[in-house]
Amino acid sequence: MSLLATTAARLTTAVVDLVLPHKCAVCGTVLGHERGLCAGCWSELRFVVPPVCRSCGVPLPGAGVASPICGLCAAEAPVIQRTRAALVYDGHSRRLIVGFKHYGRLSLRPLFVGWLQRAAGELLDEADLVVPVPLHRWRLLHRGFNQAVLLAHGIAPGPEPRFVPDVLVRHRPTVSQQSLSRRERRTNVTAAAFRVAPAWRSAVVGSRVLLVDDVLTTGATLDACARVLLAAGAGAVDAVCLARVTESHKAPI
Ligand SMILES: [Zn+2]
Ligand SMILES: [Zn+2]
């Protein structure tokens, strides 16, 4: 966006702020001068709170262990060294995120960015590169923006860590799936879906990368991105998401 367009957008927002009262981003209740969510919608959100697995970030029962690890990560270290999420993915957080990415409620972005920064904590402090999970080109055309790019840029607005939106490229798998087993197909699809852009190859080598996405369900997408980055020479890969599935937690594949 040009400086002129940015200034015009800010002026428009400022004028709208003066004229119209803010509404809750979920239910539409008038909030007055506050931005964000009404008290009722706030109280329904479930934030991920410690203790969590030090590696995959899944909430663990009980307290008192300084740096707990879940059974799955203890049995086999995940490809992504540390994963963190701000919210538990349920009906409420889903409504919020769907509003953001499918209905363009971009006023939620500052709220989401604050939650992500808190959830990422030391992952953000220690990262060299902050990389959003890319969308397919056709999906980007359809939606007009990549929500992961907006979130990743929001949490890393300065020079350090470096926000790099185009390190990963997402494309359709080209390898024939016909002769593969179901498990092989899944591995093949995810591994073939991403590549590191040639222009960023040297920057990736030896870097600690923080991947950013909106929702973690099976973890397959983030895992595929991490594998591609590590194969390109990244030193380590962490991930932070706005919300994650916790009930049917599966080992990252
Ligand atoms: Zn509300
Ligand atoms: Zn774990």
Q: How far is the CA of 65 from the centre of ligand 2 (A)?
A: 14
Q: How far is the CA of 248 from the centre of ligand 2 (A)?
A: 13
Residues 50 and 41: their CA atoms lie apart, in Å, by 22
Whether omega for the bond prior to residue 161 falls within 30 degrees of 0, making it cis, is yes
Q: Is the pTM of this model over 0.85?
A: no
Q: Which ligand is nearest to the CA of 249?
A: 2
Q: How far is the CA of 197 from the centre of ligand 1 (A)?
A: 41
pLDDT one-digit tens code per residue, 132-186: 999 877 777 777 788 999 999 999 999 999 999 999 998 764 445 555 665 665 5
Residues in the 5 Å CB sphere of ion ligand 2: 53, 55-56, 70, 73
Residues 214 and 109: their CA atoms lie apart, in Å, by 11
Lowest mean pLDDT among 52-66, 118-132, 201-215: 52-66
Residue 2 CA: distances (Å) to CA of 5, 7, 156, 157: 5, 9, 20, 17
Q: What is the 3-state secondary structure (H, E, C) of 78-125?
A: CCCCCEEEEEECCHHHHHHHHHHHCCCCHHHHHHHHHHHHHHHCHHHH
Domain 48-175+182-244 has CATH 3.40.50.620: no
Please say if the pLDDT value at position 6 is more than 70: no
Residues of the chain with CATH 3.40.50.2020: 48-175+182-244
Q: Which ligand is nearest to the CA of 95?
A: 1
| Other CB atoms within 10 A of residue 62 CB | 7
Q: How far is the CA of 213 from the centre of ligand 2 (A)?
A: 18
